[in-house]
Amino acid sequence: MNGIYHFDNNFIINPVTLGELILFQLGETLCSPGMTIATHTHGDWFEFTYAISGTGKVYAGDEEYEIKKHDLIISRPSEKHKIVSSDSEPLRYIFCSFNFSKGSEMEKLINERDLLCKNGQRRTSAPAIENYFADLLSCINGVWDEFTGLMLESGIKTLVLMTIRKNAAAPSEYFFPKANGVELLCFNIVNYIDSHVAEIENLSDLADVFKYNYSYLSRCFKKKMNKSISDYFTEKKLYEAKTLLLSGKMSVTEVSEKLNYSSIYVFSRAFKNAFGISPSRYLAELK
């Protein structure tokens, strides 16, 4: 593989079991112009291919699909798979290979009832799920702790259910029960941080945004999300830093300043703690 960037958490030989979820692979690739991921046959897993930018073609089974930004392509178990990036707009995509334990509720939905690819629906435009994929990558590329497995299982289940619901002729309330006030508040906090990650200087300012005491916001978020607002914000900043460096348009110092780190040393230490490599080394390896 001769892509500009390829990061792969590959568990194909020893799949990771996280509750009902069986995870085989999760990562992202930035293709070089015209790059081809050669034809290969999948094992016993479904695979999501989600375009972050660029264009190309994805071959799943005997079908060929054009892919562009925010398109999601679904591949079935045991199918042949191939990806071809365009020459003019190199494809950058996230891939996630998974299945669910035999007899579980999720396994019945996607295998017995075949709801994930209902009516032959393999490609869908899904801009709303980009942040969910970003969260998965941030989670798996960060420091593993007692919550990592739960977050990965929950995140991939959410993506599967969102895709099923989007492809369903009549959305079912079963998949998405109505959220209560605390859930909506946490959802809005996540959306605000995701949308303003480069603008937020002090998390205490969230109190003014949401008209609640910051201590209350912190308690609600911790209880619902199993992590603090500060931890979530730190992860989002670091993933945004990675994305900015990957673009090749900014130096390490410029990224540090854009994301409001107090110094380049603080930024470099946080980046290395999260990804196991300094930002300067990461940038050098991209060139």
CATH 1.10.10.60 fits 181-286, yes or no: yes
Question: CA 232, CA 225: separation in Å to the nearest integer?
Answer: 9
pLDDT for position 8: 60
Query: If you search the block for the tokens 């205490």, which residue do you land on?
Result: 204
| Tokens (6 digits) for 148 | 């990592």
Where are the domains positioned within the chain?
Answer: 5-167, 181-286
Q: Among candidates 74, 38, 76, 70, which has minimal Cα distance to 54?
A: 70
Question: CA 287, CA 283: separation in Å to the nearest integer?
Answer: 7
The CATH architecture of the domain made up of 5-167 is: Sandwich (2.60)
pLDDT for position 52: 93
User: Hey, what amino acid is at 85?
Assistant: S
Residues 66-96 have pLDDT tens digits of 999 999 999 999 999 999 999 999 999 999 9
Query: If you search the block for the tokens 């191939």, which residue do you land on?
Result: 82
User: Hey, what amino acid is at 2?
Assistant: N
pLDDT for position 144: 78
pLDDT for position 14: 87
pLDDT for position 172: 42
Q: Which ranges of the chain have pLDDT less than 50?
A: 1-3, 5, 170-177, 179
Contact between residue 200 and residue 233 where contact means Cβ atoms under 8 Å apart: yes
Number of other residues whose CB lies within 10 A of the CB of residue 265: 10
| Tokens (6 digits) for 243 | 């994305």
Residue 269: exposure state from Cβ atoms within 10 A (0-12, 13-18, ≥19): middle
Going by DSSP bridges, is the β-strand pair 80-85/55-60 parallel, antiparallel, or unpaired? antiparallel
Is the pTM here over 0.75, yes or no? no
pLDDT for position 175: 43
Backbone angles phi, psi at 172, to 5 degrees: -105, 135
- What DSSP state is assigned to residue 228? -
pLDDT for position 39: 92
pLDDT for position 118: 67
Instruction: Output the CA–CA distances (angstroms, integers) from residue 150 to 131, 144, 146, 153, 226, in the order listed.
Output: 18, 11, 8, 5, 9
